Structure formats: structure tokens, C-alpha cells
């Protein structure tokens, strides 16, 4: 049982939730796909499968079964932890993806202030 309330936080338009067993903040895969501007946000799952070994270095790739589409096809939704989210955004080859990556770095306090000349 948890001794604190669940956290929901929005960073760069992505909602992080920590109501998982491990208590880590996580982001829904299709939310990342949507913010990256994918026409079909669920196509982000192809990238997750492609980089599954790399993502596993940052922890378990948490997923849950879902029923997808009108054909009631079984599928899985993935909830990425912060490190996995950083990795996916960093691998994005789009302008929007790079902007989201920079915003995550800024919000996480990983960036250093630039000196002005």
C-alpha cells in the first residue's frame, strides 16, 4: 500500500503518472507518438520494438494488454519511465522530437545556463 497520493505531472505536453507498482513516473507510448506529430500515434510502438534492447537498459518496458481498433485486435500499450522517454525523444529525427527532448532536459534540470557573449 502506498503512503502518498499518486502523482500526475505534465512536462512538454506529456503526462507522467506514478500509479504503477514500482512508483516510477511513466508516460503512455501513444502520448509520445502524438506529441512527435505521428499521423498514427500508435506507430511509436514500432520504434519501441526496434529499440527494445536499448530501452531494457533503463528498466522493464512496462506494458498492458489492450483491445485495439474496430477489429478488436489484441495489442499492448507501453508505459515508459523517464529514462526510456528521454531515449525515445533523443532518437527522434524530427524537429519537434528534438524540441521535446531539449524541453525534457531543461525541466529535469540537466541543462546548464548558457553564458552570453
What pLDDT, in 10s, does the model give residues 6-48? 556 666 677 777 777 787 889 999 999 998 999 999 999 999 9
User: Is residue 116 a part of any domain in this protein?
Assistant: no
Window from 53-57, 78-82, 109-113 with minimum mean pLDDT:
109-113
104: number of Cβ within 10 Å:
20
User: Is residue 86 a part of any domain in this protein?
Assistant: yes
User: Is residue 17 a part of any domain in this protein?
Assistant: no
pLDDT of residue 2: 45
Number of domains in the chain: 1
User: Is residue 66 a part of any domain in this protein?
Assistant: yes
What φ, ψ does residue 49 adopt, rounded to 5°?
-70, -40
C-alpha angle 31/32/34, rounded to 5°? 65
Say how far apart CA 33 and CA 25 lie, in whole Å: 18
Query: At a CB cut-off of 8 Å and minimum separation 6, what does 22 contact?
Result: 59, 60, 62
User: Is residue 33 a part of any domain in this protein?
Assistant: yes
Domain that holds residue 49: 28-107
Q: What are the pLDDT digits (tens) for 61-87?
A: 999 998 766 666 778 999 999 899 989
Pairing of strands 73-81, 8-11: unpaired
Which residue is it, cell 502523482?
A: 7
User: Is residue 6 a part of any domain in this protein?
Assistant: no
User: Is residue 19 a part of any domain in this protein?
Assistant: no
Helix/strand/coil percentages in the chain, nearest 5 = 40, 25, 40
**Is the distance from CB of 68 to CB of 61 less than 8 angstroms?**
no
User: Is residue 113 a part of any domain in this protein?
Assistant: no
Amino acid at each position: 500500500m502506498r503512503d502518498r497520493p499518486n502523482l500526475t505531472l505534465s512536462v512538454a505536453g506529456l503526462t507522467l503518472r506514478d500509479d504503477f507498482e514500482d512508483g516510477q513516473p511513466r508516460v503512455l507510448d501513444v502520448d509520445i507518438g502524438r506529441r512527435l506529430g505521428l499521423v498514427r500515434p500508435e506507430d511509436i510502438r514500432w520504434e519501441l520494438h526496434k529499440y527494445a534492447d536499448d530501452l531494457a537498459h533503463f528498466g522493464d518496458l512496462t506494458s498492458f494488454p489492450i483491445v485495439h481498433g474496430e477489429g478488436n485486435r489484441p495489442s499492448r500499450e507501453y508505459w515508459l519511465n523517464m529514462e526510456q522517454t528521454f531515449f525515445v525523444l533523443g532518437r527522434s529525427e524530427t524537429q519537434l522530437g528534438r524540441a521535446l527532448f531539449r524541453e525534457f532536459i531543461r525541466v529535469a534540470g540537466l541543462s546548464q545556463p548558457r553564458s552570453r557573449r
